[in-house]
Structure 1
């Protein structure tokens, strides 16, 4: 009886007893312990697996968000690239327009090798050189009117009714229209008198022997000795002196000799070289060489001094 186990089962019908050997009892005990351990191990494993699944889900959500952010950033970058591309095209077109305005000669073979920055630099250098020349020598219309009522040359005088040489060009304009200096210079004459038929008259001395006359004015703004810049207001047009109607009489002289103002008023950066062919009384090559030398002299002076 010592090595045996008696199990009693009681129900409504009575009690029953079962005798088990001690070995069987140990087997049942070990199996029960194994089953409990298996359940505990399964619970821990399931908890660990659930934790890993949760981490994987969180990582997946993070990757999905990063992917969405990357797509959004890529879309922003694509839009920025498109915008910059459009800006570069616009800049390139404007540089091309600038090259056309200042008359930069285009070489189809070499122009493709130049970067946009090099083209801008070239246009800037060329523009500065030409702008310097055209600031010193009379060019463009001195008044906002291109209506020529009398050109340069022989004509029948509208008042004297005889054939005379017209030493300038007449630009039709209402009384009081602003008149501007055709180039940098200094006012040599400014007087409100008859002045030999010129009426109210302004004369400006420019560099290298050029001189401009502005006649039949209604009001003078500048005085003798004033320094003026190209485009500066100097007077208002009128109908004074020997004049048959409101207009500006405009003359250009070089070393005291009359020049046809037409090539000068039509002179632009785009048609920069045309005047060299149309006006042959000026030694342009020597003049341009002198101006370029002046630019080279001014360049070092315009740079900041080195610290000592």
Structure 2
């Protein structure tokens, strides 16, 4: 008969002890050992997973901290960039305000209207008007032809100093010393250089733009020849006492297509009193002349494309001439 248990004998100094274990108990112990082993292995696996997760979390945390630091630096740079933009914008706004304020002064001096125009259009108009004025002052006689001397005879009817009869004096006279330099009052081309001991004496005429001409009588010498191009301020001759003359002087005339004009307003004409010429010489069609020059400059500078002809109502240069009441 088979036994359902076995005996374990343990001997020692205290004697011998006997333990009886049944096969059922042994199976239970084996199951407990197996269960313990499974639990232990499971715990080891879970611990390994936890350690891996902790390592991943640490790495992710490190990466997150690095990204946060990088984002913080980018944010700081963005704030600095925004601050620079705001400073630049503030400076630009100050510059625009300064330019606008200065432009108001220019517009006031040029008598320009700035209604319903943006800053760019206002700058274009002001630039066009200034350029047109400078061009006009370069092309049409203005200023004194001599730097020395004084005005000794005016334009108009007078008693001729030699003939002793009343007649129209078509120019003005400057009392100057012989050899006084004479300068071109505008750009032009020398049309006449005529030597003579009669009448106007040594005579010089310069043709300017738009039908204007200037002439110089009783000269001592010419510094230019017929056909020479001259610019405003060029030396063209020396004053003298040739021809029908009672003393050393310069007889100076300005004509428009052959008709004499009073030279004095042209002599007194400067940039700071630009509009004065429109009142003093009403026979000249200043409106057409100024519009022509403005349009030519606008086309050259490409300020507008295409550009409508400037009307009397909006031309800054014609405010006075428009009010002449033709």
- TM-score under structure 1 normalisation? 0.63
Give the one of 183, 187, 191 matched to 1:179.
Answer: 183
> Equivalents in 1 of 2:153, 2:6: separation in Å?
147
Contact 2:241 2:247 in 1 (8 A): no
Q: 1:37 to 1:174 in 2, by over 3 A?
A: farther
Which of 76-85 and 49-58 deviates more?
A: 76-85
1:222 equivalent in structure 2: 224
Q: Which runs of 5+ in 2 are unaligned?
A: 10-18, 156-160, 303-326
Give the one of 274, 277, 289 matched to 2:276.
Answer: 274
> Equivalents in 1 of 2:218, 2:89: separation in Å?
59
Task: Please provide the CA RMSD for this pair.
Answer: 5.1
> Equivalents in 2 of 1:81, 1:237: separation in Å?
59
2:154 equivalent in structure 1: 153
Give the one of 181, 206, 209 matched to 2:208.
Answer: 206
- How does 1:35-46 map onto structure 2 within 5 Å? 35-46=43-54
Larger radius of gyration: 2
Contact 1:137 1:207 in 2 (8 A): yes
- TM-score under structure 2 normalisation? 0.60
2:112 equivalent in structure 1: 105
2:317 equivalent in structure 1: none
Q: 1:257 to 1:26 in 2, by over 3 A?
A: closer
> Equivalents in 2 of 1:257, 1:45: separation in Å?
107
Which of 37-46 and 267-276 deviates more?
A: 267-276
1:118 equivalent in structure 2: 121
> Equivalents in 2 of 1:3, 1:92: separation in Å?
116
Partner of 1:70, secondary structure, is helix
Measured against aligned partners, the alpha-carbon deviations of 1:210-244 in whole angstroms (never above 9, x if no partner) come to: 33134676764321233445x15142656665797
Q: 1:26 to 1:300 in 2, by over 3 A?
A: closer
Give the one of 69, 81, 85 matched to 2:89.
Answer: 81
> Equivalents in 2 of 1:239, 1:58: separation in Å?
94
2:192 equivalent in structure 1: 189
Aligned residues: 275
1:265 equivalent in structure 2: 267
Measured against aligned partners, the alpha-carbon deviations of 1:2-36 in whole angstroms (never above 9, x if no partner) come to: 89999xxxxxxxxxxx9996154345434422332
CA apart distance, 1:63: 0.5
2:140 equivalent in structure 1: 137
> Equivalents in 2 of 1:234, 1:195: separation in Å?
24
Which of 47-56 and 18-27 deviates more?
A: 18-27
Partner of 1:113, secondary structure, is coil
Q: Which runs of 5+ in 1 are unaligned?
A: 7-17, 304-308
